Structure 1
Amino acid sequence: MHTPTYPTQAVVLAGGQGSRLRPYTDDRPKPMVEIPGTGTPIIGHQLAWLAAEGVTDAVVSCGHLAEVLQQWLESAELPLRVTTVVETEPLGRGGGLKYAAAGLPHPDQPWYATNGDIWTRFSLREMAAFHAERDAIATLALARPRIPWGAVETDAFGHITDFIESPPSPFLINAGVYVFSAAFTELLPDRGDHERTTFPRLAREQRLAGFPLPQGAYWRAIDTAKDLTEAAKELAAQAR
């Protein structure tokens, strides 16, 4: 019986400026912001999750205030091997991903990637198996976030029938977590945005897969101070 092999390497994209998280990001990059009550920056939670899912090597792509992140990585007790790369000039999202992937220890093997501001927990191994079953070049995790406003339901005549507070979005979105086959790296642009070039091309060729996050899986993008507060509340509720 064939035993599936899961990726053991990952790229974490941690170069964003996090302007909407100011003043938290005035003196640190976005992934170095701590979720209140945890004492650990976002990237610390990410690296622990990756290690728990079998990742032994991670490349962290730094940018804004790179030295703050590098100093923390050097001083922290980490559960996996971490190296860093710094873009000396803006390469765009796709170019930055390709530049970071060049630092992976096993270029002939698949790899995970995650955005540095994502706070989530689900089985990466299940996602990797899904990716392999579909023989995809790239697989995106897909989330269905809650709409931050209350929704209104109406009947065909225009009477309001119900109010729903923060309902799930009717659309799936890119959750910022990926599984990539080894061949994907070559398809990335040296400079520019892969989400406008590489991904649409793979979608047309039916080589791009989407893995819906399992029911009940925790996912949140940390974009604003409100997201930090909500994440802290949700973590406190889980701990009870």
Structure 2
Amino acid sequence: MSNAASDAVTHPSQAVVLAGGQGSRLRPYTDDRPKPMVEIPGTGEPIIGHQLRWLASEGVTDAVISCGHLAEVLQSWLASNELPLRVKTVVEQEPLGRGGGLKYAAAALPRPDEPWFATNGDIWTRFSLREMAEFHDERDALATLALARPRIPWGAVETDEFGHVLDFIEAPPSPYLINAGVYVFAAEFTALLPDRGDHERHTFPRLARSRRLAGFPLSQGAYWRAIDTAKDLTEAARELGG
């Protein structure tokens, strides 16, 4: 395979951003805007703006944004800002579920025969998508999900075998890796998605059984946070120096 062909396979240049959620746990911030339009204090831009800059810096030239709740607010922002890549929006007329939403948006990708990235619209992160794509290719996976190790929101107590308290640990890292909401998908994966429903309950377990699903652990220094609640906004602002 030529270097050019190999680069095209290893580094997808198109992406889907799922931005249709209502963000009910982020109210009142989401009363007048969709979740990806919420701004982390001190950053000067909404979550979607950060995501598009990140995707472009990783070689993505085309993004399809799947809208739903208050779609017109997001579409207006996209139309009035200078974007670092080409963007198309699609709007779900009825809820299709996460898997159905992905499939619906993927139908609008400009190059359906090439691999693609996908990300949830409430993720604020920065890591090498190129490295993730290479990891995906090396394992001949149909789908690869990024894995994060979040901090537990409560303090932990360490004890010995006799029940004596040894230490108090503030917000320790989780012992488990979780789905970070960022993906690499092979072109063939799109056809495996449900027209309606959740791919994580059906498509992913099937791929896992056939060893075609890979998990890419984020490096220890990579920043990752899902913005689900007002507390997440506060924590992110502190962590990002806002």
Q: State TM-score, norm by structure 2.
A: 0.96
1:148 is aligned to 2:153 = yes
Q: How far has the Cα of 1:158 moved from its partner?
A: 1.2
RMSD: 1.0
Describe the superposition over 1:95-116 as per-residue Cα deviations: whole angstroms up to 9, x where unpaired.
0000000000000000000000
Percent sequence identity over aligned pairs: 84
Moved over 6 A (4+): none
Structure 1 unaligned blocks of 5 or more: none
Q: Distance in 2 between matches of 1:146 and 1:215?
A: 12
> What is the match of residue 30 of structure 1?
35
Q: What is the rounded CA distance, in whole Å, between the counterparts of 1:39 and 1:168 in structure 2?
A: 29
Q: CA deviation at 1:48?
A: 0.2
Letter in 2 for 1:189: P
- Give the aligned residue type for 2:153: P
Q: Distance between the aligned counterparts of 1:212 and 1:162, measured in 2?
A: 28
Matched, 1:131 2:111: no
| 1:47-104 Cα distance to aligned partner (Å, 9 max, x none) | 0000000000000000000000001011110000000000011111100000000000
Secondary structure of 1:215 counterpart: coil
How far does the alpha carbon of each residue in 1:200-219 deviate from its partner, in whole angstroms, 9 at most, with x for none? 10001110000000121000
Measured after TM superposition, the shift of residue 224 of structure 1 is 0.7
Q: 1:201 aligns with which of 202, 206, 213?
A: 206
Distance, in Å, in 1 between the alignment partners of 2:81 and 2:118 is: 21
Is 1:185 equivalent to 2:185 in the alignment? Answer: no
What letter corresponds to residue 46 of structure 1 in structure 2? Q
Letter paired with 1:22: R
Residue 8 (1) aligns with residue 32 (2) = no
SS across alignment from 2:187: coil
Q: Distance in 2 between matches of 1:230 and 1:161?
A: 28
- 2:95 is aligned to 90
Letter in 1 for 2:186: S
Q: Aligned-pair distance for 1:2?
A: 5.5
**How far, CA to CA, are the matches of 1:133 and 1:73 in structure 2?**
35
Say which is worse superposed, 149-158 or 177-186, in terms of deviation.
149-158
1:122 aligned residue: 127
Q: Find the partner of 2:171 among 163, 166, 171.
A: 166
State the distance in 2 between where 1:177 and 1:146 align.
18
* 2:11 corresponds to 1:19: no
Distance (Å, rounded) in 1 between the aligned partners of 2:203 and 2:118: 15
Aligned equivalents of 1:227, 1:94: Cα separation in 2: 25
Post-superposition offset of 1:234: 1.2
Equivalences for residues 202-221 of structure 1 within 5 A:
202-221=207-226
TM-score between the two structures when normalised by the length of structure 1:
0.97
Code of the residue aligned with 2:172 in structure 1: it is P
Of 2-11 and 92-101, the range deviating more from structure 2: 2-11
Instruction: Could you tell me which runs of 5 or more consecutive residues in structure 2 were left unpaired when the two chains were aligned.
Output: none
Q: Alpha-carbon deviation of 1:39?
A: 1.8
**1:115 and 1:219 mapped to 2: Cα distance?**
12
Query: 1:161, CA displacement in angstroms?
Result: 1.1
Instruction: Please tell me the residue identity of whatever aligns with 1:121.
Output: R
Report the equivalent of 2:113.
108
- Counterpart in the other structure of 2:67: 62
In structure 1, what is the equivalent of residue 50 of structure 2?
A: 45
Q: CA deviation at 1:193?
A: 0.5
